[in-house]
A and B are shown apart, each in its own frame.
Chain A
Amino acid sequence: MKDSTKYSGIGLWLLSRIISIRKNYGLFGDIEEMYHVVQEEKGRSKAKLWLGMQILRTIPHAVYNWLYWGFVMFANSYKVTVRNFRRQKLYSVINLLGLAVGMACCILILSYVHFEISYDKFHDRADRIYRLTMDGNLANMPFNLATSNGAIGPSLRDTLPEVEDVVRFRRRYRSSVAYTDKLFFEEGILWTDASVFEVFSFPLVSGDSEEALQVPYTAVLTEETAQKYFGSDDPIGKILKIDNQVDYTVTGIVENVPRNSHIDFDILLSFKTLEAVYPERFSRWMEDFDNWTYLLLQEGANPQAVEEKCLPLIDENMGRVIKLIGGEVVFKLQPLARIHLHSNLLGDVGSRSDILYVYLFSAIALFILLLACINFMNLSTARSAGRGREVGIRKVHGAVRAKLIRQFLEESLIHALISLVLALVLVQAFLPVFRSLSGRDLNVPYAEAGWLIPALIILAFLVGLIAGSYPAFVLASFEPSTILKGNPFLGKGKGRFRGILVVFQFAISIMLIIGTGVVISQVQHMKNKRLGFDKEHLLVLRVTDDRIRPSIETIKTELLSLPWIKGVGRSSHVPGWGARHNAVLPEGFSLENSQTMGIIHVDHDYLPALGIEIVEGRNFSREFPADAHKSVLINETAARTFGWDDPLEKFLTELDSRSISKRVIGVVGDFHFMDVRTLIEPLMIFLAPSDTNALTVRLAPGGDLAERLQSLRKAWNKVVPSTPFDYFFLDASLESEYLTEARLSRLFSYFSLLAVFIACLGLFGMAAYTTEQRTKEIGIRKVLGASSSGIVLLLGRDIGKFILLANIIAWPLAYWAAGHWLQDFPYRTPIHFWIFPASAVLVLAIGFLTTAYQSFKAAASDPVDSLRYE
């Protein structure tokens, strides 16, 4: 009995608590009275039931009531916010935009970071897949190769129990692919093993994974590629003709490769084909190192242990050759998920990135957000300075402190949330620009990263709260009399903080502007670099079809009959493609000191066609038939490296299976056979026209290009009608080599723009604040006879001081950073010193413009108004 009384007591208390939001005397008594009435009428147990029901039924009312008052209060805050917005349009827009830009930037960069770290994680077995890489030093040439020999993988699978499976990839050069009358040139062709569908998660949408790529001359296409060739027809069993010579049967269609895969392809060809055509190349561990090998390890296998177990195998299979040319080789196992961001090897795939960029960008994102938030707070505070009187009047009318705090906080929250919405709009608007800047086809991962939107909302709330807290707590705590009398603002401490912030932001802006200048001048430097040959008016025709090689001389003759063709040369490589490399023994060197050299194969006409200078000796000549076997040309760097003052008549021996010694008959001037970013290496040039991969055609300047191309195509088709005509312009292809730097210079200019914008926001906030503070001072100065221009100058002087200070900080840092960056370029621009003062002047001008509005307003104001301010 006693217990039940207690329960009903608790129930009564609970009900009264729910109902009473404010001190509601007598409520408990009321409810108790009613309870007793019910108890008397219906009995104790019914009464308890009644009480429980009452509690339940009251809750909706309580919720409604809470919402009702919440809405009434919020509606009022909203109204005040809108009024303030209207009154200070410029400030409000700038403030909202500043925060929105900061947030948008942050969202974009976060999307980039999210995308970068998601690379290759979609493979189910990603944690067990490793790439076999080779480290070592051969013939005095240290190397870190992402690629390896094609025989290594299968023999590791057969000998080591830890290796469950192996997949090899090999890139096929750009080839023409034809189905009936449809012909396209494809860059994304990889040779690979049938196990690719077992080891990696590239799901087949049609075809049998047990059969696809199992036998020579089979192919698998991505959905997109299949669509291109076959439309709605079933591609399985259809035949593709590659480079107009070999037929491949389509055995499967694979889902399009995800964008965050470092292995990218459109067409897969069976590796078995290569093994059938070149059996000797894939039976030994040497000679050919152009394959990527991926190992699937057993569950729980230790990659280090596997690396160690490889050592005796290396010795067994490659030891003899390594001993011959001197050096050492080890294998490394690189985890799949680390390849995209943590790898920097020769032969890495193109889309590789660097974890440093991920860190750098994350830092920048955080930094921009932080600055935007601080500026938002500053501007909010500065803006609220003028609202002292509003607060005073509200207080006089009986507003309590809590209510004022709430109002300021709500106002600030409304601003922050509007900024967030604006930021999302900005993100959509700038996504295309950002895609081209980052070089990644990415989207904002709203769906993938479910935390993003809630996190942003929380962030907006936090920023709103923090930004509103200063005006809220400080303004609300003033005595109304003080506020109404005059300016309630406060000591210098806050002002100094703001000053430091402005200096800091401008220092960063100046650094970025200088950085932009340096990057742009480096790009210009590379573009204008003398390459050692005349890159204009050179057209390159690719030769990929083996069967047309015998007809090349005929094509040459046909082309040379055109009056506007000045020369045609055959070669294995053209500038930008690099060269093949091998160990070479120069005369007078011991075998342990053999040297690595680049080697290209040309015909008699190649060097004159490109305009490469012969600085000593002679070019290959038809008058000396022995040139084909016994003669070699070297570049100046080679002569210098070997210490040969008189290189002519010296002998060079390539250390391959034949090891034929050749006599130097001439020295060519150094020319860039790799891209402009790499140092020119020692180079040998052989006379071996049969190894032609390209025909380089020198055109006479001028003329109608389209017409000329048409004639070239006609000449080509006359000789080899079944092989498609594929060409490119050498200068354009060299241009694409500086794409990275060109993108970097764009990235820099955008970041500088952003930094300047954000810095100006900070400056604007500070200027608004100080001008507000000095209203009375300015009034008095004017009464005492100061001119308007004098006042503008007075206000501008402060800004000038800040920017000067920012320059002092920024210059040495920018100089150091630019020098550091340029270190990576063997051929680099000097740092032009005029960039420094130029950026200072630019920033100064922007700074003055930013504050001009306020300065002129203050200077032009009637002193009567400003002195009547009280």
Chain B
Amino acid sequence: MAELTRLEEQILLSVWKLQDDAYGISIYEHIRDITRKKLAIGGIYFPLERLVKKRFLEAYKGEPTPVRGGQSKRYYRLTQLGKEELLANRRIQDTFWKNLPRIKFAGEESR
């Protein structure tokens, strides 16, 4: 299917980073802290479920916690496929960045 969108890439990376603590809110906060953008909550959950559907992520139930009245959180974890997709994405990015020629704009000191 189509390439990953930027948001999807960010979500996948967040899940990777957060490891065992990757659930909706922690992912939301992680992205917010790095990008300084405040997404809508739906803006996180819909892509999350879409990524699960595409098998880049797996969802699993956490232990029920008393704080939530015995309900458990929905945690996410990266799959093999998701990791490969991320790496492929990065390779593409790197290739784009590789050997870029110098570019100079008016008023800019050449470095």
- List, in ascending order, chain B residues with CB within 8 A of A21's CB: 49
- What is the bound-complex CA distance between A64 and B42, given in angstroms? 11
Contact A65 B23 (CB under 8 A): no
Please encode chain A, from 778 to 795, with 1 for each CB lying within 8 Å of some chain B CB and 0 for all others: 000000000000000000
Does A25 count as interface, using CB distance less than 8 angstroms?
Answer: yes
Q: Is the CB of A25 within 8 A of B61?
A: yes
Q: A57-B43, A58-B40 are in contact. Are A29 and B68 (CB under 8 A)?
A: yes
Chain A: CB-nearest residue to B61: A25
Smallest CB separation, A67 vs chain B (Å): 11
Cβ-defined contact, A26 with B41, below 8 A: no
CA–CA, A19 and B69, complex, Å: 21
Chain A residues lying within 8 Å of B24, measured Cβ to Cβ, are: 26-27, 30-31
User: A65 to chain B: which residues have CB within 8 Å?
Assistant: 46, 49-50
Whether B41 pairs with A34 at a CB distance below 8 angstroms is: yes
**How far is B74's CA from A214's CA once the two chains are assembled, in angstroms?**
91
B interface residues, tally (CB under 8 Å): 20
B68: nearest chain-A partner, CB-CB: A29
Q: Which of B41, B61, B62, B73 is close to A19, meaning CB atoms less than 8 Å apart?
A: B41
Give the chain B neighbours of A246 by CB distance below 8 A. Answer: none
User: Residues of B contacting A25 with CB < 8 Å?
Assistant: 61, 71-72, 74
Q: Does B45 contact A (CB under 8 A)?
A: yes
B88 at the binding interface (Cβ < 8 Å): no
Asked if B46 and A19 sit within 8 Å, CB to CB, the answer is yes
Which of A15, A22, A26, A31 makes the CB contact (< 8 A) with B61?
A: A26
The secondary structure that dominates the A interface is: helix
Q: Which residues of B contact A29 (CB under 8 A)?
A: 68-69, 71-73
Interface residue B56 (Cβ < 8 Å from any Cβ of A): no
- Partner of B45 from the list A27, A32, A37, A68 (CB cut-off 8 Å) is A27
Question: Cβ of B43: which chain A residues have Cβ within 8 Å of it?
Answer: 57-58, 61
The answer to whether A58 and B73 touch (CB under 8 A), given A22-B49, A30-B23, A64-B46, is: no
Taking the complex as formed, is A28 at the interface, i.e. its CB lies under 8 A from any CB of chain B? yes
Give the contacting residue for B40; candidates A20, A22, A30, A54; CB below 8 A.
A54
What distance in Å separates the Cβ of B10 from its nearest Cβ neighbour in chain A?
Answer: 15
Q: Please name all residues of chain B whose beta carbon is closer than 8 Å to the beta carbon of A551 when the two chains form the complex.
A: none
B5 CB to nearest A CB, Å:
11
Contacts of B28 in A (CB 8 A): 34
- In whole angstroms, what is the CA distance A531 to B69 when docked? 104
Judge whether A28 and B71 touch: CB under 8 Å. yes
B71 to chain A minimum Cβ distance, whole angstroms, is 5
What residues on A are CB-neighbors of B74 within 8 Å?
Answer: 24-27, 30
Contacts of A61 in B (CB 8 A): 40, 42-43, 46
| Interface assignment of B25: CB less than 8 Å from any CB of chain A | yes
Chain A nearest CB from B107 CB (Å) reads 39
Q: In whole angstroms, how far apart are the Cα atoms of A30 and B68 in the complex?
A: 9
User: Are the C-beta atoms of A19 and B42 separated by less than 8 Å?
Assistant: yes
- How far apart are the CA atoms of A22 and B45 in the complex, in Å? 12
Q: When the two chains form their complex, are residues A26 and B73 in contact, meaning their CB atoms are under 8 A apart?
A: yes
Residue A846 at the chain B interface, CB threshold 8 Å: no
Q: Which residue of B lies closest to A59 (CB)?
A: B42
- Bitwise interface map of B from 24 to 60 toward A, beta carbon under 8 Å scored 1, else 0: 1100100000000000111101100110000000000
Do residues A31 and B41 form an inter-chain contact, with CB atoms below 8 A? yes
Whether B72 lies near A26 (C-beta < 8 A) is yes
A208 contacts the other chain (CB 8 A)? no
Which residues from B are CB-within-8-Å of A18? 42
* A33 contacts partner chain B, Cβ-Cβ < 8 Å: yes
B66 to A: closest C-beta gap in Å: 12
A62 vs B42: C-alpha distance when bound (angstroms): 7
B-side contacts of A26, CB under 8 Å: 23-24, 61-62, 68, 71-74
* Contact string against B for A residues 34-53, beta-carbon threshold 8 Å, 1 for contact and 0 otherwise: 10010000000000000000
Interface size on A, residues (CB 8 A): 27
CB A30 to nearest CB in B, in angstroms, measures 4
Which residues of the other chain, B, contact A31 by a CB distance below 8 angstroms? 24, 41
Cα distance A783–B41 in the bound complex, in angstroms = 69
Partner of B42, one of A22, A32, A33, A57: A57
A3-28 residues at the B interface, CB under 8 angstroms: 15, 18-22, 24-28
| Smallest beta-carbon distance A175→chain B, Å | 76
Instruction: List the A side residues contacting B69 at CB < 8 Å.
Output: 29
CB neighbours (8 Å) of A15 from chain B are 41-42
> CA of A21 to CA of B61 in the docked complex: distance in angstroms?
18
Residues of A within 8 A of B72 (CB): 25-26, 29
Shortest CB distance A403–B (Å): 14
What's the minimum C-beta distance from B37 to chain A, rounded to whole angstroms?
Answer: 12
A64 vs B24: C-alpha distance when bound (angstroms): 19
- In the complex, residue of chain B having the shortest beta-carbon distance to the beta carbon of A37: B25
Q: Are B49 and A62 in contact (CB under 8 A)?
A: no
Interface pair A30/B25, CB less than 8 Å apart: yes
Give the distance in Å from the alpha carbon of A172 to the alpha carbon of B23 in the complex: 92
Smallest CB gap from A65: residue in B: B46
Q: With both chains docked as a complex, state the minimum distance between the C-beta of B39 and any C-beta of chain A, in angstroms.
A: 8
Q: Which of A478-494 touch B at CB < 8 Å?
A: none
C-alpha spacing A29/B63, complex, angstroms? 13
Q: Which residues of A contact B46 (CB under 8 A)?
A: 19, 61-62, 64-65
Instruction: Say whether B42 contacts A58, CB under 8 Å.
Output: yes
Q: Which chain B residues in 66-104 approach chain A with CB under 8 Å?
A: 68-69, 71-74
User: Is A19 touching B71 in the complex (CB atoms < 8 A)?
Assistant: no
Identify the closest chain B residue to A19 (Cβ). B45
CA distance A68 to B68 in the complex (A): 32
Q: Is the CB of B42 within 8 A of A68?
A: no
Closest Cβ–Cβ distance, residue B110 to chain A (whole Å): 44
* Docked complex Cα distance between A33 and B45 (Å): 15
Name the A residues within 8 Å of B40 (CB-CB): 54, 57-58, 61
Q: How many Å lie between the Cα of A31 and that of B28 in the bound state?
A: 11
In whole angstroms, what is the CA distance A31 to B40 when docked? 11
| Cβ distance B9 to chain A, nearest Cβ, rounded Å | 17
Cα distance A64–B46 in the bound complex, in angstroms: 9
Cβ-defined partner of A54 (8 Å) among B23, B41, B49, B61:
B41
Least CB separation from B73: chain A residue = A26
Contacts of B45 in A (CB 8 A): 19-20, 24, 27
> What CA separation (Å) do A476 and B43 show in the bound complex?
36
Q: Which residues from B are CB-within-8-Å of A20?
A: 45
Contacts of B61 in A (CB 8 A): 25-26
A59 vs B46: C-alpha distance when bound (angstroms): 11
State in angstroms the CA–CA spacing of A19 and B72 once bound together.
17
Q: A27-B45, A62-B46, A64-B46 are in contact. Are A34 and B71 (CB under 8 A)?
A: no
Tell me the bound Cα distance from A57 to B43 in angstroms: 8
Query: Which of A22, A24, A37, A58 meets B41, CB within 8 Å?
Result: A58
Contact with B along A347-389 (1 / 0, CB 8 A): 0000000000000000000000000000000000000000000
Q: Which residue of A lies closest to B74 (CB)?
A: A26
Residues of A contacting B68 in the complex (Cβ-Cβ under 8 angstroms): 26, 29, 32-33
**Pairs across A and B, CB under 8 Å, 14 listed:** A19-B42, A24-B45, A25-B61, A26-B62, A26-B74, A27-B45, A27-B74, A30-B73, A30-B74, A34-B28, A54-B40, A57-B40, A58-B43, A61-B40
What 10 A-B pairs are tightest by C-beta distance, nearest first? A58-B42, A57-B40, A26-B74, A61-B42, A30-B24, A29-B68, A65-B46, A26-B73, A19-B45, A61-B46
Chain A positions within 8 Å of B, measured between CB atoms, are 15, 18-22, 24-34, 37, 54, 57-59, 61-62, 64-65, 68
Given contacts A21-B49, A57-B43, A62-B42, 16 further A-B contacts (CB under 8 A): A19-B46, A25-B74, A26-B74, A30-B73, A31-B24, A31-B41, A33-B25, A34-B25, A34-B28, A54-B40, A54-B41, A58-B41, A59-B42, A61-B43, A64-B46, A65-B49
